[in-house]
Chain A
Amino acid sequence: MTTATLVHVVVSGLATGCIYALMAISLVIIYNATRTLNFAQGEMLMISAFLAWASYHAFRLPLLVAMLVAVTASAVLALLIERAIIRHSIAATHFDVLIITLGLSLMLRAGAGIVWTHDEFPFPSFFSDRPIPLGPVRIAPGSLGIIGASLGLMAALYLLFTYTRFGRAMRAVAQNQRAARLMGISVERVYSGSWVLASVVGAVAGVLIAPVIFLSSKMGLIVINGFTAAVLGGFGSLPGAVLGGMLLGVLENLAPLYLPTGIKYSVPFLLLIGILMLRPSGLLGRSLQRKV
């Protein structure tokens, strides 16, 4: 194998990795605020990608506007779900909420299948197909675009969490809910906000990855890769989610070069089992002390 192929594989792995990282970030945002896992995150991403595609085709909106429509719609969807369903189970255990979001993911996927069928559709991309030569290496502009957009979004999230009131409130709730409430933070508003923020991040990931993996009702399964990425980095840690996503993307792309090709789709699962067995707290995670 030449170095050029290797670079190409690694770059496209990093691009997929960025998507996994965004997926992992949206899972972690909700987890940090509410201590629950949103199983429906992948399906919410799928719905927003479909909405972008539908508004692009039905109203002939420019691609960028269609994507903004999708991102807004995903925010509204998340708010509705949080207020209508999740809020009622605030006192429930994570087990209950997991089942509820599982039910949601079944419903969203079936709904998408009913409205848009279960076929695969090509999704328009901002980036041209012609590879950019960089010395001896040729790189797909799509990969660079995904990496650039994702890094931009991550930087924006970093600023949001560090410098805004809302970001600080979210971090406070993640650290200690009762203390946060005593400091006058509306925990409920942070719950809603986390759902909306996570959904927006997921929607961006959705419109970025849709041109690569095609638009279909099945694309919600990417939530498993996102979860693997988050666990890999240490669940609950945002930098960990980014690191885990990149690692997973690159490994998934490298594995078929050295192992049988069929292995590619099992990589996240095998990696997930492996990391859970060996180091459940992930690369950057800290193990938690629990009380009765």
Chain B
Amino acid sequence: MRRLALASLGLLLLALPWLVPRYFVFLANLIVVNAIVAIGLNLLSGYTNQLSFGHAGFLAIGAYFAALLTIHAPGVPVPLTILAAGVSTAAVGVALGVPCLRLEGLYLTMATLAFGYVVSEAILNLDWLTRGADGLRVPVAGLGPWRLATDVARYYLVLAVAVLMVLAARNLVSTRTGRAFLAIRESQIAAQAGGIHVAAYKTIAFAVSAFYTGVAGGLFAFVVGYLSPDAFDVFLSVDFVAMIIIGGLGSVPGSIIGAAVITVLHDWLAAFQNYRPLIFGAILIAGMLFMPGGIARALRVSLTRGGGV
């Protein structure tokens, strides 16, 4: 039953570009990219309880890294570019994560918020490299002889990377590392008393989370084709947090659902720019008050009540 469902979902995802209009392919690309960020953020915030408001900064680093690499070294195949974007962002994640080890709760949140702000200011001011406020046009990604010039081509790239990332995340959370993350979330002191090296695992969580977001950033650069610092503001970080809250803290499928819901909502509300934050704020509050485990837990509860699948 479960296998059948997964197989049909896989087929549906593969056939999607041929079933829907072109614009929805672009939207699907955005959803998948955001889902990778949401999974990364969830590993840090949902699993390890280190709430970050700076993931737009990580996304920006990944995106600019991939864009600049493609501009200056056009021959590099796109999977390598994206891997490099992920690794370099992970390095930044470690650089931020290590000094943040002694911070908790509010302090960590504010430090990551400040980090996100400093990144967008840095992009704005390093205009010899990033072209500052003018923005940066990202060249078309190349994979050997092919050029990924259409949304459909990019869809398959994004989807392939996302499938790998989802599988990796699912594996990670069911290993020793994932259990250590959960133990740290429940109680740092108890985790430490249980023999878990809290500092090491928190750093790993930061690095993995930044890696995911950096990879997503690399994909984002190619999907959108144009980067400017104001796209990576604090409100984007807030959107990412909203995704994992709505989808479900500490749940990989929840992250994907949350990313889809928030991205589609953004698209629907594009015509009502002024009302968007109003609705988002209301959703955040309602989600916290009435659905603390997000959609993932609500679904699980209703499925088990209905006899389960």
Contact = CB atoms under 8 A, between A and B. Distances in A.
Nearest to B292: A96
Interface in B72-116: 99-100, 102-103, 105-107, 109-111, 113-115
Given A104-B281, A107-B277, A290-B189, A94 B113 contact: no
Contact of A231 (B107, B118, B281, B288): B107
Contact of A273 (B49, B111, B193, B282): B111
A113 interface: yes
Contact of B277 (A94, A99, A100, A110): A110
Interface stretch (A128-136, A171-179, A248-256, A264-272): A264-272
B103 A100 contact: no
B284 A37 contact: no
A85 B289 contact: yes
A104 B285 contact: yes
A102 B25 CA distance: 32
Contact of B113 (A104, A224, A270, A291): A224
Contacts of A262: 121, 125
B51 interface: yes
A12 interface: no
Interface string A181-211: 0000000000000000000000000000000
B302 interface: no
Contacts of A227: 110
Nearest to B96: A273
Contacts of B114: 224, 268-270, 272-273
A107 B278 CA distance: 4
Contacts of B289: 85, 88-89, 100
A113 B49 CA distance: 33
B117 interface: yes
B117 A269 contact: yes
B275 A110 contact: yes
B125 A99 contact: no
Interface in B112-136: 113-115, 117-118, 121, 125
Interface of A: 37, 85, 88-89, 92, 94-96, 98-100, 102-111, 113-114, 224, 227, 231, 235, 262, 265-266, 268-270, 272-273, 276-277, 280, 290-292
In the A-B complex, the 6 residue pairs with the closest CB atoms: A103-B284, A106-B281, A107-B281, A110-B277, A110-B278, A269-B114
Interface of B: 49, 51, 99-100, 102-103, 105-107, 109-111, 113-115, 117-118, 121, 125, 187, 189-190, 193, 238, 241, 245, 274-278, 280-285, 288-289, 292
10 contacts: A89-B289, A96-B292, A105-B281, A106-B281, A110-B275, A235-B107, A272-B110, A272-B114, A273-B114, A280-B107
